[in-house]
């Protein structure tokens, strides 16, 4: 017992000496709220417009209902789609898509589209079109109101890759709205993806793609391919299905590079 007490006494004495020898350093200063605040740079002021769907003041208006001066056919000729009453309508006789003259990378894209009230057909043969980002990655446009098709080919899908979360399609004859936020890919020197493209899509204000990874080019037959590229056009597809032609209005884009 005496030996145990002696050992304890020695340990206490050693700890006391160590405590005396420990160097004291200044303690961190007290945090205040302004230490985690910054004022510069101030975000740019943007006028959002008066009505829902209006082009913000920093947007590039691609179609304002007057003409297709911002667009051309893929072969560089003038687009042949019809413009009437503020609406651009697909002309199927010549079988041509239209593409923007300007090319883009990461962007916010707004467009409105409509199929005729008396549309016929089913599956992929009903109001089929699409919007291509950087000319390579398709967000599907299709009349899926009471019209089933393969899930990764329906409205709101990243065509042949990712099915939409839900189907908020409006009735034929009513206008649908896409709001697309797209992040362009980054490539390595060898042409493979460092970062794959990603996209968020709202259809009629409802989220249908949530920061979805796009795994490569849109292919009708076969798997997506990795193709190194820079900026590319927005393409609106003229699809060869037998249904009545689709129409577009109020198209604008914000460059997010």
Pairs from 80-88 (Cβ < 8 Å, separation ≥ 24): 81/238, 86/249, 87/114, 87/247, 87/248, 87/249, 88/63, 88/247, 88/248, 88/249
Provide the terminal-to-terminal Cα distance of the chain, rounded to the nearest Å: 78
User: pTM surpassing 0.85?
Assistant: yes
Instruction: Work out the average pLDDT over 163-180.
Output: 97
The answer to whether residue 213 scores a pLDDT higher than 60 is yes
Each residue of 91-115: pLDDT tens digit? 888 779 999 999 999 999 999 999 9
Each residue of 80-95: pLDDT tens digit? 999 999 999 998 887 7
Q: Using the structure block, give the residue that is written with the tokens 């970062």.
A: 195
Contact between residue 103 and residue 231 where contact means Cβ atoms under 8 Å apart: yes
How big is the CA angle at 92 (ends 88 and 93), to the nearest 5 degrees? 125
pLDDT confidence of residue 23: 83
Instruction: Work out the average pLDDT over 1-21.
Output: 56
Other beta carbons less than 10 A from residue 103's beta carbon: 14
What are residue 83's DSSP bridge partners? 88
Alpha helices in the chain (DSSP H): 2-21
């Amino acid at each position: 017992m005496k030996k145990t007490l002696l050992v304890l006494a020695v340990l206490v004495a050693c700890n006391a000496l160590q405590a005396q020898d420990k160097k004291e350093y200044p303690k961190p200063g007290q945090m205040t709220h302004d230490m985690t605040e910054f004022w510069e740079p101030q975000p740019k002021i943007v006028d959002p417009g008066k009505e829902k769907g209006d082009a913000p003041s920093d947007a590039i208006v691609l179609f304002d209902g007057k003409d297709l001066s911002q667009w051309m056919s893929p072969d560089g000729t003038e687009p042949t789609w019809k413009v009437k009453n503020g609406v651009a309508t697909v002309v199927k006789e010549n079988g041509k898509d239209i593409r923007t003259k300007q090319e883009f990378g990461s962007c916010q894209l707004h467009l409105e589209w409509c199929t005729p009230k008396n549309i016929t057909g089913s599956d992929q043969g009903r109001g089929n079109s699409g919007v291509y980002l950087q000319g390579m990655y398709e967000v599907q446009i299709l009349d899926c109101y009471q019209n089933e098709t393969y899930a990764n080919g329906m409205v709101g899908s990243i065509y042949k890759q990712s099915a939409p979360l839900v189907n908020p399609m409006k009735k034929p004859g009513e206008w649908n709205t896409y709001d697309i936020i797209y992040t362009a890919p980054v490539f390595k020197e060898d042409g493979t993806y460092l970062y794959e493209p990603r996209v968020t899509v709202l259809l009629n204000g409802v989220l249908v793609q949530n920061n979805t990874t796009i795994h490569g080019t849109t292919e009708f037959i076969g798997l997506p391919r990795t193709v190194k590229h820079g900026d590319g056009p927005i393409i609106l597809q003229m699809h060869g299905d037998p249904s009545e032609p689709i129409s577009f209005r109020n198209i604008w884009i914000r460059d997010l590079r």
